[in-house]
Chain A
C-alpha cells in the first residue's frame, strides 16, 4: 500500500509565553516525536485520553498548528516547514470534520448556503454548478437534496453529522481527519453514521484518520490503531492483533477500561498516570 501521508519525528510545542513583565510560562510539548504512515484508503484510529495530543496532531496535519520540528509528506511531497497560509494551501487534500457538527454550522444560514460557501471559496464560480454539486452531495450522505433550504436547528444530531460530512466532501478531499465522529450520538444513530463513513470511503476513495476514545467503535471500524499517551505514540499496529494482545501497559489499561457487554470486568483496572 502506498502511503498517502507520512509523518516523521513530528514535535509540536504549544502555549508558553515570555515577557518582560509577565511570568515566563514554558511551552508544552503536546506532540512529541510522532511518526507514522497513512496508507491510501486506510482507516487509522488515533486513540488516547483528553490531553494526550491527538487533536493537536490532527490540527498540525491540517496546517492549522505549526510544527516545531519534524516532517510531514503528502504524496511524497514535503508539506511541512511552510508558513501557515502556504501550509494550508499545500494540504488542501486533507480536510477536517468537526466533532460538534451543530456548532460548526451557522444557525442563520440555510444548509445549502453553508455548503455552497465552501465551493465558492474553492473557486467554483458558476452558481448553477454549486447548486448541483450541493444537491448531489446531500443525496450522497443520505439526506433529501430538498433539505438544502432548511436550517441547522431543523436537523437531528445524526443528520447534522451527515451535513458536516457533506460540507467537507464537497471540497473533494482525499484524507479526512474525523474528530470523534460519533460522540454524543445514540447507539442506533452511531451505527448508521459509521456505516455511512464506510460507504463514503469506497465511493470517494477516501483515507481516514479517525480520532476517538470510544474503543468499541475503533475496534470495529479501523484497519490500524495508534495509541497516544502524553504526546507520543506508545503503540501502533493492525487493529485485531493490537486488541487481542496489547504490548504496552498503557494500551492494556485503556482496553481494560472499556465497558463491555459480556460480563462485568472484575479487575480494578490499572491506575492510569495523571497528566
Chain B
C-alpha cells in the first residue's frame, strides 16, 4: 500500500540577510494510511518548515533544494500554486493550528469563516455544507451545534475553539490532517479530551494524522509512529513503543531523559540547536552529545539500530 505521505530527503534553504540558512537538511518521514505519526524536536529544529513545505506555503526566499514530497502517490513539489489550492489544500490536506484564537477572525461569525473554506474546497451546495458542519460540530461535542455557527469566536472557550478548528480541518473530508501542537495552549483535562477525540476521529473518518509536538507524553498517548527531528534532519524514526522502550539516538535519549516522568534530575541538554546559518561539520548533534566517539566528525547517514528503528548516528551505520 502506498503511504499517505512520504517525504524523502527533503532539503530546504532560506535566503536571509545573513546568508543562506539550511533549515531542513535531510528530512524523511513516512505516514501510512490510518496511522498517527508524531514529529518531535526542540524549537528551531525545522518542524514548522517541514509542515509548511508539505502544504506548499513556505515563506518567501525559501527553496526546496532536494527531496520529494509524495502525497497519495503524487509528488506535491511539481504542483503549481493554483493546483495546490484547487486540489490539495483543505480539500485533501486539513490543518489544525496551534493557537485557535489566532486562526479565527474575531469580527466574523464562526459559520461565515468555516463555510467560506467549504465554498471553495468542498463539493455540494451551501445547504450540504451547513449540514456537514453541524454534524461535525455535534461530533466534536461543541454545545448547541445548530446555533454555534451564528456565534463569534470570543463566545467559545479555548478548548471549544480548538474543537471548532478540528471541525474546520475535517469539513472538506481530507485524507491527511496536519496538526501543529494543537494542545499546548490547553489545560491537561481539555488536552486529554482533545487527544481522545483525535484518536477516535482517525478511525471514524479514515484519516491519517501528522502530529507535531514537543511533548513526549502526548506522543506516547496518541501516536503510532514517531519521527524525531534535530537541526533539520530525521535522527530517529520508527514505531512509538519501540523508540520509547529503547531509544537509540543520543538525542532521543537526551530528550526522553528531560521528561519529568523519566528524569532522575533536572539536567536538560547542554547547548543549543545549531543555527541554520552555521551548521557544524560532521554530526549535527555531536557538539551537545554525551556519547561522542571517533567518526563523529563525518555526517552520518540513516542506519538501523538493534531496536529496529532508523537512526542517524555513527554507532549504527
**Are B258's CB and A191's CB within 8 A?**
yes
**Are A259's CB and B217's CB within 8 A?**
yes
- In the complex, B201 has a CB within 8 A of chain A: no
**Are A261's CB and B261's CB within 8 A?**
yes
- In the complex, A170 has a CB within 8 A of chain B: no
- In the complex, B262 has a CB within 8 A of chain A: yes
**Are B259's CB and A253's CB within 8 A?**
no
User: Within residues 177 to 227 of chain A, which ones have a CB less than 8 A from any CB in chain B?
Assistant: 184, 186-192, 194-195, 198, 213-217, 219-220
List of B residues within 8 angstroms of A198 by Cβ: 266
Number of B residues contacting the other chain (C-beta, 8 Å)? Answer: 37
For A259, A261, A268, which residue has the most chain B Cβ atoms within 10 angstroms?
A259
**Are A269's CB and B260's CB within 8 A?**
no
For B43, B221, B260, which residue has the most chain A Cβ atoms within 10 angstroms?
B260
List of B residues within 8 angstroms of A262 by Cβ: 220, 244, 261
What number of residue pairs across chains A and B have CB atoms under 8 A from each other? 104
List of A residues within 8 angstroms of B221 by Cβ: 259-260, 264-265
Q: How far is the CB of B176 from chain A (nearest CB, A)?
A: 23
**Are B218's CB and A187's CB within 8 A?**
no
Q: How far is the CB of B285 from chain A (nearest CB, A)?
A: 12
For B188, B195, B265, which residue has the most chain A Cβ atoms within 10 angstroms?
B188
List of B residues within 8 angstroms of A258 by Cβ: 188, 192, 217
**Are B187's CB and A213's CB within 8 A?**
yes
Interface code A248-275, partner B: CB below 8 Å = 1, 0 otherwise? 0000011011111111110011001000
- In the complex, B229 has a CB within 8 A of chain A: no
Give bound CA distance, A213 to B187, whole Å.
Answer: 7
- In the complex, B216 has a CB within 8 A of chain A: yes
List of A residues within 8 angstroms of B272 by Cβ: 156
Q: How far is the CB of B240 from chain A (nearest CB, A)?
A: 9
List of A residues within 8 angstroms of B43 by Cβ: 157, 186
List of B residues within 8 angstroms of A253 by Cβ: 189
**Are A259's CB and B215's CB within 8 A?**
yes
- In the complex, B48 has a CB within 8 A of chain A: no
Q: How far is the CB of A186 from chain B (nearest CB, A)?
A: 4
- In the complex, A117 has a CB within 8 A of chain B: no
Given known A-B contacts A187-B216, A188-B269, A195-B265, A49 and B189 have beta carbons under 8 A apart: yes
| Interface size class, chain A | 35 or more
Within 8 Å by CB of A213, from B188, B217, B261, B262, lies B188
List of B residues within 8 angstroms of A190 by Cβ: 258, 268
User: Within residues 212 to 234 of chain B, which ones have a CB less than 8 A from any CB in chain A?
Assistant: 214-218, 220-222
B256's closest neighbor in chain A, by CB? A261
- In the complex, A247 has a CB within 8 A of chain B: no
Given known A-B contacts A186-B42, A192-B268, A259-B215, A264 and B220 have beta carbons under 8 A apart: yes
Give bound CA distance, A190 to B189, whole Å.
Answer: 21
List of B residues within 8 angstroms of A216 by Cβ: 217, 259-261
Give bound CA distance, A183 to B191, whole Å.
Answer: 14
- In the complex, B298 has a CB within 8 A of chain A: no
Q: How far is the CB of A127 from chain B (nearest CB, A)?
A: 33
Interface code B264-280, partner A: CB below 8 Å = 1, 0 otherwise? 01111100100000000
Give bound CA distance, A71 to B256, whole Å.
Answer: 44
**Are B220's CB and A259's CB within 8 A?**
yes
B240's closest neighbor in chain A, by CB? A264
- In the complex, A50 has a CB within 8 A of chain B: yes
Given known A-B contacts A259-B221, A261-B262, A263-B220, A195 and B267 have beta carbons under 8 A apart: yes
B214's closest neighbor in chain A, by CB? A186
**Are B254's CB and A254's CB within 8 A?**
no
List of A residues within 8 angstroms of B215 by Cβ: 187, 259
List of A residues within 8 angstroms of B214 by Cβ: 186-187
**Are B255's CB and A187's CB within 8 A?**
yes
For B42, B221, B263, B268, which residue has the most chain A Cβ atoms within 10 angstroms?
B268
For B191, B220, B266, B269, which residue has the most chain A Cβ atoms within 10 angstroms?
B266
**Are A50's CB and B158's CB within 8 A?**
yes
List of A residues within 8 angstroms of B217 by Cβ: 216, 258-261
Q: How far is the CB of B89 from chain A (nearest CB, A)?
A: 28
- In the complex, B87 has a CB within 8 A of chain A: no
Q: How far is the CB of B255 from chain A (nearest CB, A)?
A: 6
Give bound CA distance, A160 to B265, whole Å.
Answer: 22
**Are B266's CB and A191's CB within 8 A?**
yes
Give bound CA distance, A214 to B189, whole Å.
Answer: 11
Q: How far is the CB of A21 from chain B (nearest CB, A)?
A: 24
List of A residues within 8 angstroms of B260 by Cβ: 216-217, 219-220
Can you list 6 A-B contacts (CB < 8 A)?
A: A49-B188, A187-B42, A220-B260, A259-B222, A261-B256, A265-B221
B-side residues, CB < 8 A to A, are: 42-43, 158, 184, 187-193, 195-196, 214-218, 220-222, 244, 254-256, 258-263, 265-269, 272
* 10 other A-B residue contacts (CB within 8 Å) besides A191-B258, A257-B192, A259-B217: A156-B272, A188-B254, A190-B268, A257-B188, A258-B192, A259-B188, A259-B218, A259-B222, A261-B262, A262-B261
